[in-house]
A and B are shown apart, each in its own frame.
Chain A
Amino acid sequence: MAGSMAQMKLGMFYWPCGHHMAAWRHPDAVADSGSNPPHLIELAKLAEQGLFDMFFMADSVSFWRGHLDAMTRDSYGTWIEPFTLMCALSQHTKHLGLVCTSTSTYDQPYLLARRFASLDLMSGGRAGWNLVTSANKLEAASFGRDEHMEKVERYRRGREFAHVVRGLWNSWADGAFVQDKESGLYLDKSKISILEHKGAHFRVRGPLNVPPSPQGEPVMVQAGASDDGRELAAETAEVIFGAQQTLEGAQAFYADVKGRMARYGRDPDSLKIMPGLLVCVARTHAEAAAKYEQLQDLIDPQAGMQLLSRRIDFDLTGYPIDGPLPELPPNKTVSSRAQLFAEIGRRENLSIRDLYRRVAGARGHMEVIGSVAEVVDMMETWVREKACDGFNIMPPVFPASLIEFNQMVVPELQRRGLYRTAYEGTTLRANLGITRPRWPTADADAALRERLSQSDVIEFRGAG
Chain B
Amino acid sequence: MSRDRKIRLNAFMRPISIHTAAWRYPGSYADANFNFGHIRRFAERLEEGKFDAFFMADHLAVLNMPMDALKRSATVTSFEPMTLLPALAMSTHHLGLVATGSTTYDEPYHVARRFASLDHISGGRAGWNVVTTSNPNASQNFGHEDQLEHGDRYARAREFYDVVTGLWDSWADDAFIRDKERGIFFDPERMHVLDHKGKYLAARGPLNIARPIQGWPVVVQAGASDPGRQLAAETAEAVFTAQSDLAAGRAFYKDVKARMETIGRNPDHMKIMPGCLVVVGESDAEAEEKRLRLDSLVHYDSAIASLSIALGHDASKFDPDAPLPDIPETNAGKSSRERAIKMARAEHLTVRQLAQRLGGYSGLAMVGTPKTIADTMEEWIETRGSDGFTIMFPYLPQGLDDFIDKVVPELQRRKIYRTDYEGRTLRENLGLPRPENRHFPKT
Contacts and interface: CB of A to CB of B under 8 A. Distances in A.
Contact of B106 (A111, A177, A209, A303): A111
Interface string A66-91: 00110111110111110111011011
Interface in B9-58: 21, 23-24, 30-31, 34, 36
B328 interface: no
Interface stretch (B74-82, B224-232, B423-431): B74-82
B72 A111 contact: no
A211 B208 contact: no
A185 B210 contact: no
A37 B90 CA distance: 10
A266 interface: no
A85 B87 CA distance: 9
A74 B110 contact: no
A424 to B, nearest CB: 23
A144 interface: yes
A24 interface: yes
Q: Which 6 residue pairs spanning A and B have beta carbons closest together?
A: A144-B202, A118-B83, A141-B204, A91-B90, A84-B117, A87-B86
A210 B78 contact: yes
16 contacts: A24-B180, A85-B121, A87-B84, A87-B86, A91-B87, A107-B107, A111-B60, A114-B80, A115-B83, A118-B79, A118-B83, A179-B31, A206-B141, A209-B63, A211-B77, A303-B183
Interface in B122-156: 137, 140-143
Given A72-B186, A177-B31, A187-B71, A79 B209 contact: yes
A420 to B, nearest CB: 26
Nearest to A25: B180
A87 B83 contact: yes
B332 to A, nearest CB: 28
Q: How many B residues are at the interface, by size bracket?
A: 35 or more
Contacts of B137: 205
A79 B72 contact: no
Contact of B141 (A32, A143, A204, A464): A204
Given A85-B86, A111-B60, 18 more contacts: A24-B180, A61-B110, A62-B204, A63-B206, A63-B207, A73-B184, A77-B186, A78-B186, A79-B209, A81-B209, A87-B86, A88-B121, A91-B87, A118-B79, A122-B36, A181-B24, A204-B140, A209-B78
A189 interface: yes
Contacts of B36: 121-122
B242 interface: no
B74 A32 contact: no
B117 A107 contact: no
A84 B185 contact: no
A248 B287 CA distance: 75
Contacts of A202: 143
Contacts of B106: 108, 111
A172 B77 CA distance: 10
A81 B204 contact: no
Contacts of B183: 25, 73, 298, 300, 303
Nearest to A145: B202
A31 interface: yes
Which of the listed residues A26, A35, A107 has the most CB atoms from chain B within 10 Å of its own CB? A35
A83 B84 CA distance: 11
B67 interface: yes
Contacts of A207: 62
B70 to A, nearest CB: 7
Contact of B205 (A63, A107, A188): A63
Max count, chain B CB within 10 A of own CB: residue among A32, A60, A88 = A88
Interface string B251-292: 000000000000000000000000000000000000000000
B59 interface: yes
Name which of B59, B183, B201 has the most chain A CB atoms within 10 A of its CB: B183
B114 interface: yes
B203 A143 contact: yes
A142 B109 contact: yes
A283 interface: no
B395 to A, nearest CB: 11
Interface in A396-424: none
Contact of B82 (A69, A74, A84, A144): A84
A121 B34 contact: yes
Contact of B72 (A83, A87, A186): A186
A115 B82 contact: yes
B188 interface: yes
B204 A142 contact: yes
A60 B110 CA distance: 11
A203 interface: yes
A205 B72 contact: no
B79 A204 contact: no
Interface string B184-225: 111110000000010001111111111000000000000000
A68 B184 CA distance: 12
A143 B79 contact: no
Given A90-B87, A142-B109, A209 B76 contact: yes
Contact of A74 (B63, B116, B121, B185): B185
Contact of A143 (B78, B109, B140, B206): B109
B118 interface: yes
Given A32-B178, A63-B207, A122-B79, A88 B60 contact: no
B247 to A, nearest CB: 35
A175 interface: no
A189 B76 CA distance: 11
Contacts of B120: 35, 37, 80
Given A142-B204, A186-B23, A122 B87 contact: yes
B8 interface: no
A116 B201 CA distance: 27
A189 B62 CA distance: 13
A110 interface: yes
Nearest to A179: B30
A209 B77 contact: yes
A451 to B, nearest CB: 25
A144 B197 contact: yes
Contacts of A64: 204
Determine which residue in A73, A77, A84, A189 has the highest number of CB atoms from chain B within 10 A of its CB, and name it: A84
A344 to B, nearest CB: 26
Contact of A88 (B76, B80, B90): B90
Contacts of A32: 176, 178
Nearest to B177: A72
Contacts of B341: none
A79 B208 contact: yes
A204 B36 CA distance: 27
B165 to A, nearest CB: 16
Given A24-B178, A144-B197, A88 B86 contact: yes
Contacts of B362: none
Contacts of A25: 180, 183
A343 B347 CA distance: 84
B185 A73 contact: yes
A106 interface: yes
B349 interface: no
B121 A84 contact: yes
B23 to A, nearest CB: 7
A78 B113 contact: no
A203 B140 CA distance: 7
B70 A189 contact: yes
B297 interface: yes
Interface in B315-353: none
Contacts of B74: 179, 186
B71 A204 contact: no
A84 B82 CA distance: 7
